[in-house]
């Protein structure tokens, strides 16, 4: 599946919730997500801008691989995702003999909603609050962004790992 994505930073969850409420977007209850990013010893996945992630949320283990398609003002990636019938720890141990290990972990609280065919994800992490807009095409992403009154030029293409690293550098 093709995933087109952009993130917007907010001063806190209330600010983002107010915007979404004003646009009649209904959000799900908050769900905690635990994420483990895997790579091999030489970090070739990260160097190739490939994401290999194991996520645990709502009692499910989800394995995801994202590969870059193109860059520009939004992040466009091919995403392959599947629910796995084992624990995140078991899945991590399965990949260790194949040379993959966890190189980073992060957690977030996520609430989701829909706007047209775009999925809106209100994510609260220890270093900030973000509204992530995911859509199946660049046109759908632009439409959702504009419907929310957001300027696509203000959007962030970085991953949460990159945003966390930037926040750590700027104290």
pLDDT, tens only, 108-162: 999 999 999 999 999 999 999 999 999 999 999 999 999 999 998 899 989 999 9
Task: CATH number of the domain at 151, please.
Answer: 2.40.320.10
pLDDT of residue 2: 86
pLDDT, tens only, 4-28: 999 999 999 999 999 999 999 999 9
CA distance 82 to 65: 9
pLDDT of residue 71: 65
Cβ-contact 111, 21 below 8 angstroms: no
pLDDT of residue 68: 85
Sign of the alpha-carbon dihedral angle for 50, 84, 125, 41: negative
pLDDT, tens only, 36-79: 999 999 999 999 999 999 999 999 999 999 998 776 777 889 99
What stretch of H or E contains 22?
helix 13-22
pLDDT of residue 29: 97
Overall average pLDDT of the 160-166 stretch: 93
Q: Long-range contacts of range 22-27, CB-CB < 8 Å, 24 or more positions apart?
A: 23/115, 23/147, 23/148, 23/149, 25/113, 25/114, 25/115, 25/120, 26/113, 27/111, 27/112, 27/113, 27/120, 27/122
pLDDT-derived band at 170 (thresholds 50, 70, 90) equals: confident
Give yes or no for residue 96 having a pLDDT over 90: yes
What is the extent of the structural domain holding 150? Answer: 2-169
Q: What's the number of domains the chain is made of? A: 1
pLDDT of residue 27: 97
CA distance 88 to 60: 9
């Amino acid at each position: 599946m093709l995933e087109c994505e952009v993130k917007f930073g907010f001063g806190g969850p209330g600010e983002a919730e107010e915007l979404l409420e004003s646009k009649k977007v209904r959000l799900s209850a908050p769900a905690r997500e635990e994420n483990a990013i895997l790579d091999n010893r030489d970090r070739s996945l990260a160097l190739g801008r490939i994401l290999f992630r194991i996520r645990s949320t709502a009692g499910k283990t989800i394995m995801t691989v994202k590969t870059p398609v193109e860059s520009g003002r939004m992040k466009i990636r091919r995403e392959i995702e599947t629910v796995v019938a084992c624990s995140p720890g078991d899945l991590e141990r399965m990949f260790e003999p194949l040379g993959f290990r966890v190189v980073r972990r992060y957690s977030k609280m996520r609430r989701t909603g829909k706007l047209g065919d775009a999925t809106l994800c209100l994510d609260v992490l220890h270093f900030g609050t973000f509204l992530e807009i995911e859509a199946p095409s660049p046109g759908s992403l632009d439409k959702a962004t504009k419907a929310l009154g957001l300027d696509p030029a203000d959007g962030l293409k970085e991953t949460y790992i990159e945003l966390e690293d930037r926040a750590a550098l700027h104290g």
